[in-house]
Amino acid sequence: MSDDDELWVDSADRKVALRALAEHRDSAHLTTAEHDRRRDLVRDAQTRADLRALFADLPSPHPLMGEERDGWEATPGSRPAAETPDGASNGTGVVLGSGGLIVLGALVAGWWLPAILLACVVVVVTVLVAAR
């Protein structure tokens, strides 16, 4: 058992496993019914060990989640990055920091309704900035 077998899987790990299962089905290593059964197990897997167990009785490719092996590489997740590809900040920290200070000030002053509205605006602006 490797050190990362107990790590939780993410959507990129599942995509790699599903691609590998499809290749095994296309290569006649798996019947359609067995492929479908293992596909459902991929969706229910919680750890990398759960995913690796699905390939124990199959020939290569054996995807190692998050590592490049036999041409199988996990794709980056869909979470917004804290930095843009050129290394610059995307501004979410500035929006959250300044917006949080304004909301905190409104709460301290006893302005509950404006504080709630400002918090909603900060969340929406942060999401828009992160999506850019």
Structure confidence by residue, pLDDT tens digits, 14-57? 888 888 899 899 989 999 999 999 999 999 999 888 988 888 88
Cβ-contact 36, 57 below 8 angstroms: no
- 71 in the same domain as 117: no
Say whether both 59 and 105 belong to one domain: no
Judge residue 13's burial from the number of C-beta atoms within 10 Å of its C-beta, 0-12 exposed, 13-18 middle, 19 or more buried: buried
Asked if 89 and 82 count as a contact pair (C-beta separation under 8 A), the reply is yes
Does residue 114 belong to any structural domain of this protein?
yes
Domain count, the chain: 2
State the sign of the Cα–Cα–Cα–Cα dihedral 9, 14, 16, 22.
positive
Looking at the DSSP bridge assignments, the partners of residue 47 are: 8
Look at 25 and 122; give whichever has higher pLDDT. Answer: 25
Which has more pLDDT, 80 or 57?
57
Give mean pLDDT, residues 64-86. Answer: 46
Domain housing 46:
1-79
pLDDT beyond 50 at 82: no
Q: What pLDDT shows up at residue 74?
A: 44
pLDDT digits (tens, 9 = 90+) for 85-95: 445 555 666 66
pLDDT band at residue 64, thresholds of 50, 70 and 90?
low
Residue 124's pLDDT is 80
7, 46: one domain: yes
- CA 84 to chain CA centroid, nearest Å: 18
Residue 74 falls inside a structural domain: yes
Whether 59 and 124 share a structural domain = no
Longest Cα–Cα distance of the chain, Å, equals 69
Quote helix, strand, coil % in the chain, to nearest 5.
60, 5, 40
Q: Using CA atoms, how far apart are residues 10 and 122, in angstroms rounded to an integer?
A: 28
